[in-house]
């Protein structure tokens, strides 16, 4: 398999265009990660490279693995002036699934005595599990406000403070949403799901900073050694999933209408400028805003729990990143600034210094990039680079990436054993579903350290801090 790949540098591999590929494929990874990558990744990278209007390259991140249509860990940008497309498979089912980190002013040794209580209270306060429901009930028309305003809606309703919005991509509200393009079914399913974590891979974790790699950037981000932080991972819940499901047939029909070959069910797409492409985009932005509102409400719930145990404490938002999106961004292509539709599916935006969209104080260092590992291993805070903007439209990995299928993991691991093993390591885990816990066993994931090394050595990001879990809540 390696034969098909041309090694460009130690952490960069290329697939020369063959057949109807319009651009090369590009994989950022170490030799070991490339060797372990499932073959489907190559195939999917090539499929994406053959889509109309793709710019520069079809890219896979070091944590890439098979996904629906695009690989998870896939990045591709399309030029609307060149017939560029937008694809459901380039965003994924959990639209705007993402991660937010909250900073506490506490050190690990202040939190450990309260850890058991904290985990239990967070588990009781932040609803989790399949189809989990919260206390906020929204009729379809009330939900429309959420879909247009995102986290701004949540702040308006008292969940958080206006300053929080500064520290969310898109400032908490992505423009271009139109709820009339979201089905009633999607809105009904979301009725009570705002402020809930969901299941499986979604988590809420208490972590501490075990290592600082870059003191200057860490200071700008407000990170210090032994500091306790809270990181959680969730997305747009039922609404996003239903939007993806609703638009698959719409874009399948559109692909046939516009003569775009469909290589996989989820790779269906439509030209950005077509009515079908525009409709999906407007609905997808609603999904993004739903996820941003969701994480904002959860932020509020986490703060309440911490304030109960540590009166007077405030948890500041470090940043909120989404790793399942299509965004309108400007990038330099052959010396010309181009408006592109950048799909990142299981990939995190990782802008370098200077981008005016970033919070003021982050502009001089670049964007915080929040990467999960597993409930038993490290997670990381990275920072974006200019080199990454050139090489990968400012993108990075989004996690360790699976190495074992969910089914395989269920057959291999036992929930009680996982909980016991983690407790021995000083990590308290509470989960709604035993099956879900097995699916997420730390051993079901690649080595996060290896993935981070590759991402950084490829120049896409720089390491800032390492986080070690002490408490984890799973759906
Ligand atoms: P996704 O499900 O969005 O594709 O995966 C996000 C990433 O989160 C995975 O690649 C994995 O590395 C990481 N992850 C999954 N479960 C946990 C967890 O419980 N804690 C942490 N810190 N990371 C996790
Ligand atoms: Mn998700
Ligand atoms: Mn995710």
pLDDT in tens, 426-447: 999 999 999 999 999 999 999 9
d(C-alpha 103, C-alpha 53), whole Å: 41
| Residue ID of nearest Cα to ligand 1 atom 24 | 374
H or E segment and range at residue 105: strand 98-107
Per-residue pLDDT of 279-292, as tens digits, reads 999 999 999 999 99
Which residues on neighbouring strands pair with residue 25, listed in sequence order?
A: 15, 58
Query: Of the bound ligands, which one is closest to the alpha carbon of residue 471?
Result: 1
Angular region, 151: left φ>0, alpha ψ -120 to 50, beta rest: alpha
Query: Residue 330 Cα, ligand 1 centroid: separation in angstroms?
Result: 29
Query: Which of 62, 119, 399, 404 should be mutated for ligand 1, with most atoms under 8 A from CB?
Result: 399
d(C-alpha 339, C-alpha 334), whole Å: 13
Decide whether any atom of ligand 1 lies within 6 Å of the 380 Cβ.
no
Per DSSP, the three-state class of 129 is: coil
| Sign of CA pseudo-dihedral 238, 243, 249, 251 | negative
**Ligand 3 is an ion; residues with CB less than 5 A from it:** 97
CB-side neighbour CA atoms (13 Å) of 148: 11
d(C-alpha 112, C-alpha 130), whole Å: 29
Cα separations in angstroms, 290 against 96, 173, 195: 8, 9, 10
Per-residue pLDDT of 377-397, as tens digits, reads 999 999 999 999 999 999 999
What residues does each domain of the chain span?
Answer: 2-474
d(C-alpha 189, C-alpha 191), whole Å: 5
Are 164 and 151 spatial neighbours (Cβ–Cβ below 8 Å)? yes
Q: What kind of architecture, by CATH, is found in domain 2-474?
A: Alpha-Beta Complex (3.90)
Query: Residue 82 Cα, ligand 3 centroid: separation in angstroms?
Result: 30
Of the chain, the percentage scoring pLDDT greater than 70 comes to: 99
Catalytic residue positions, numbered: 398
3-state secondary structure 71-93: CEEEEEEECHHHCCEEEHHHCCC
Phi–psi pair at 433, nearest 5 degrees: -125, 130
Encoded tokens for 8: 């460009």
**Nearest C-alpha neighbor of 290 from the set 129, 431, 113, 170:** 170
Encoded tokens for 157: 């309703």
Q: Is the pLDDT of residue 208 over 70?
A: yes
Q: Is the pLDDT of residue 1 over 60?
A: no
Q: Is the pLDDT of residue 197 over 70?
A: yes
Q: Which atom of ligand 1 is nearest to the CA of 445?
A: 12
Q: Is the pLDDT of residue 297 over 90?
A: yes
d(C-alpha 198, C-alpha 374), whole Å: 17
Q: Is the pLDDT of residue 92 over 70?
A: yes
Predicted pLDDT at 427: 98
**Nearest C-alpha neighbor of 444 from the set 397, 471, 411:** 411
Query: Residue 230 Cα, ligand 3 centroid: separation in angstroms?
Result: 16
- Tell me, what's the ipTM? 0.99
- Is residue 200 very low, low, confident or very high in pLDDT (cuts 50, 70, 90)? confident
d(C-alpha 316, C-alpha 101), whole Å: 9
- Is residue 475 very low, low, confident or very high in pLDDT (cuts 50, 70, 90)? confident
d(C-alpha 296, C-alpha 100), whole Å: 9
- Is residue 26 very low, low, confident or very high in pLDDT (cuts 50, 70, 90)? very high
Decide whether any atom of ligand 1 lies within 6 Å of the 452 Cβ.
no
Q: Which atom of ligand 1 is nearest to the CA of 440?
A: 16
| Residue ID of nearest Cα to ligand 1 atom 9 | 399
Decide whether any atom of ligand 1 lies within 6 Å of the 401 Cβ.
yes
Q: Is the pLDDT of residue 143 over 90?
A: yes
d(C-alpha 468, C-alpha 472), whole Å: 11
Average of per-residue pLDDT values in the chain: 97
Are 189 and 445 spatial neighbours (Cβ–Cβ below 8 Å)? no
Decide whether any atom of ligand 1 lies within 6 Å of the 440 Cβ.
yes
Decide whether any atom of ligand 1 lies within 6 Å of the 398 Cβ.
yes
């Amino acid at each position: 398999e390696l034969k098909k790949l041309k090694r460009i540098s130690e952490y960069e591999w290329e697939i020369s265009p063959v057949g109807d590929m319009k651009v090369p494929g590009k994989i950022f990874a170490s030799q070991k990660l490339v060797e372990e990558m499932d073959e489907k990744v190559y195939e999917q990278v090539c499929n994406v490279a053959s889509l109309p209007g793709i710019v520069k390259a079809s890219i896979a991140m070091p944590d890439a693995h098979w996904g629906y249509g695009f690989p998870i860990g896939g990045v591709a940008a399309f030029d609307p002036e060149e017939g560029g497309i937008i694809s459901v498979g380039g965003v994924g089912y959990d639209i705007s699934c993402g991660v937010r980190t909250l900073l506490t002013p506490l050190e690990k040794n202040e939190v450990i005595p309260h850890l058991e209580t904290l985990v239990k209270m967070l588990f009781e306060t932040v609803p989790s599990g399949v189809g989990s429901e919260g206390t906020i009930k929204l009729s379809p028309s009330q939900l429309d406000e959420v879909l247009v305003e995102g986290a701004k809606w949540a702040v308006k309703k008292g969940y958080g403070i206006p300053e929080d919005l500064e520290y969310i991509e898109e400032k908490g509200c992505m423009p271009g949403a139109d709820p009339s393009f979201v089905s009633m079914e999607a809105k009904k399913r979301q009725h009570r799901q705002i402020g809930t974590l969901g299941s499986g891979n979604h988590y809420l974790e208490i972590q501490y900073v075990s290592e600082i790699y870059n003191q200057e950037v860490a200071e700008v981000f407000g990170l210090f050694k032994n500091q306790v932080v809270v990181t959680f991972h969730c997305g747009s819940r039922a609404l996003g999933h239903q939007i993806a499901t609703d638009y698959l047939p719409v874009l399948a029909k559109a692909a046939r209408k516009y003569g775009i070959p469909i290589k996989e069910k989820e790779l269906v797409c439509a030209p950005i400028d077509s009515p079908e492409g525009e409709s999906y985009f407007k609905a997808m932005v609603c999904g993004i805003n739903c996820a941003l509102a969701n994480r904002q409400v959860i932020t509020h719930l986490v703060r309440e729990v911490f304030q109960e145990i540590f009166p007077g404490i405030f948890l500041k938002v470090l940043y909120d990143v989404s790793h399942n999106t299509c965004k309108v961004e400007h990038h330099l292509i052959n010396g010309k600034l181009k408006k592109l539709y950048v799909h990142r599916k299981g990939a995190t935006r990782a802008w370098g210094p200077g981008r005016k969209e970033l919070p003021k104080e982050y502009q001089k260092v670049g964007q915080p990039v929040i990467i999960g590992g597993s409930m038993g291993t490290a997670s990381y805070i990275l920072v974006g680079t200019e080199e990454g903007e050139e090489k990968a439209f400012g993108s990075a990995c989004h996690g360790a990436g699976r190495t074992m299928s969910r089914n395989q993991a269920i057959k291999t691991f036992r929930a009680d054993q996982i909980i016991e093993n983690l407790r021995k390591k000083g990590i308290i885990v509470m989960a709604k579903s035993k099956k879900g816990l097995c699916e997420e066993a730390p051993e079901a994931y690649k080595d996060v350290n290896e993935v981070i090394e590759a991402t950084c050595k490829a120049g896409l990001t720089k390491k800032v801090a390492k986080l070690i879990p002490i408490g984890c809540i799973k759906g």
